[in-house]
Amino acid sequence: MTGLSFRLIADDRAARCGEIMTPHGPVATPAFMPVGTQATVKALAPGTVRATGADIVLGNTYHLMLRPGAERVAMLGGLHVFMSWPHAILTDSGGFQVMSLSELRKIDEKGVTFRSHLDGATVELSPERAVEIQALLGSDIAMQLDECVKLPASRADIERAMRLSLRWAERSKRAFAGKGGLFGIVQGGDDMALRHESLRALVDIGFHGYAIGGLAVGESQDVTNRVVGEVAPALPANAPRYLMGVGTPENLLDAVIRGVDMFDCVLPTRNGRHGVAFTRRGPVSLKNARHAEDPRPLDEGSSCPAARTYSRAYLHHLVKANEILGAMLLSEINVAYYQELMAGMRIAIAERRLADFEAEAKAAWAQGDLPPR
């Protein structure tokens, strides 16, 4: 198939569970997308990512356009073939990382100009080039180029960036010739009037799905929840809703409750590389000496073999010894926990008991990890 379709399966108050059909298979929602920045989810073989339950991963246009290059990936059969991931891929537009990683960036009506963090080369990225690159990569879900403003910011700055993003959204839609779908991105910071204006204009243009951008950029969790709680339910019910760059397990639950369908975040893999595991009982730092002689697995009830097989003492040792296997196992455990959490939410929504699921999950996180033996 080409294009993208979304099927709503069930809802529970504002929360929804559904399925996105992509050219590379279905994505059960609410979905968490592990981040495959440079054509690899860090420290995980693609088969392991799949085994955690992921239907879709995110690829970073900024990184891939600079290395190995979009044309090169296309010549090699596209990103799915390149990274041996035959399932769905969403690519971001590159804009966010231009802002955070590159130097000497200049934003004007045309697009962004920046210096590559790899070799200092000057690179231009327009809305048209961003969708072209994503089509070359072969992504199932492409994102429009937008300008994302860090919070707090003045209303004038937020408004200017939101309007520029809307003009770029129109140009993205016109230029889009990819095989999958294209998502627009709602901007407007923490200003509800601007958020609604952005949302309405994007729906008028018409996209396969809608993202909420400009959050997880420094604001409090209250602000995130308030904006998501206002924006998500106002988005079209028949299209997937994607909250970009979020978040912790609690963030995901809070946003699903408010009607969000899709997420991406580097937290599970980044924290895994830094010795922190996400579990049913909240985050666990394996660096902590209390694990040094603990023969128990991290979580005997996990769906992830690594969480059930290896002792805490062994994981502690790997982390202390800075062994690659520590990063591998904790990344696997974390991505698996995120997928397990999403699967739990999908079932709870289908059974209309998400409020109970929320209470149980938050109680278990609050109770914390097992006491030392």
364 lies in the site for its own copies, by CB under 8 A: no
Binder to its own copies among 1, 7, 13, 67 (CB under 8 A)?
67
Chain positions 31 to 60 lying near its own copies, rule: CB under 8 A, are 38-40, 42-45
Q: Which of 82, 210, 242, 278 binds its own copies (CB under 8 A)?
A: 82
Cα separation, 86 vs 327, whole angstroms: 24
Question: ∠ CA 35-40-41 to the nearest 5 degrees?
Answer: 40
User: Which residue's CB is nearer to its own copies, number 116 or number 311?
Assistant: 311
Q: How far is the CB of 139 from its own copies (least distance, A)?
A: 17
Choose between 48 and 165: whose C-beta lies nearer to its own copies. Answer: 48
Candidates 272, 373, 287; CA nearest to 324 is 272
- Is 11 one of the catalytic residues? no
Member of 17, 145, 277, 328 binding its own copies (CB under 8 A): 328
> Catalytic residue among 12, 55, 92, 261, which?
92
Question: Considering the complex, what minimum distance in angstroms separates the CB of residue 323 from its own copies?
Answer: 5
- Coil, strand, or helix at residue 20? strand
Question: Is the Cβ of residue 9 or residue 45 nearer to its own copies in the bound state?
Answer: 45
* 92 catalytically annotated: yes
The residue behind tokens 């998502």 is: 183
Q: Which is nearer to its own copies, 5 or 37 (CB)?
A: 37
Partners of residue 8 on adjacent β-strands: 18
State the minimum distance, in angstroms, from the CB of residue 266 to its own copies. 14
For residues 44 and 291, give the distance between their C-alpha atoms in angstroms, rounded to a whole number: 24
> Which x/- pattern, by CB under 8 A, does the window 301-320 give for its own copies?
--------xxx-xx--xx-x
226 versus 320: smaller Cβ distance to its own copies:
320
Helix (H) or strand (E) holding 256: helix 249-257
Backbone conformation region of residue 281, classed left if phi is above 0, alpha if psi is from -120 to 50, else beta = alpha
Give yes or no for residue 6 binding its own copies (CB under 8 A).
no
Q: Which residues are CB-neighbours of 138 under 8 A, at least 6 positions away?
A: 73, 74, 78, 79, 80, 89, 178, 179
Cβ nearer to its own copies, comparing 50 with 317: 317
Residues binding its own copies: number (CB under 8 A): 35
Q: Which is nearer to its own copies, 173 or 320 (CB)?
A: 320
Closest alpha carbon to 30 in 21, 17, 15? 17
340, 342, 347, 353: CA torsion to nearest 10? 110
Chosen residue from 3, 25, 26, 68 binding its own copies by CB under 8 A = 68
Which residue among 15, 141, 175, 329 contacts its own copies (CB under 8 A)?
329
Which one of the listed residues 264, 294, 299, 369 is annotated catalytic? 264
Sequence-separated contacts (24+) of 284-292 with Cβ below 8 Å: 284/369, 286/312, 286/315, 286/316, 286/318, 286/319, 286/326, 286/330, 287/316, 287/319, 287/320, 288/316, 289/316, 290/372, 291/315, 291/316, 292/316, 292/317
Q: What is the closest distance, in whole angstroms, from the C-beta atom of residue 311 to its own copies in the complex? A: 6
293 near its own copies, rule: CB under 8 A? yes
Q: Does 372 bind its own copies (CB under 8 A)?
A: no
Which alpha helices (H) appear in 279-353, and where do they start and end? 305-309, 312-320, 324-350
Among 1, 76, 177, 359, binds its own copies (CB under 8 A): 76
Phi, psi of 208 (to 5 degrees): -75, -20
Q: Which residues are designated catalytic?
A: 92, 264
Residues that bind its own copies (CB under 8 A): 38-40, 42-45, 67-68, 72, 75-77, 81-84, 292-293, 295, 309-311, 313-314, 317-318, 320-321, 323-325, 327-329
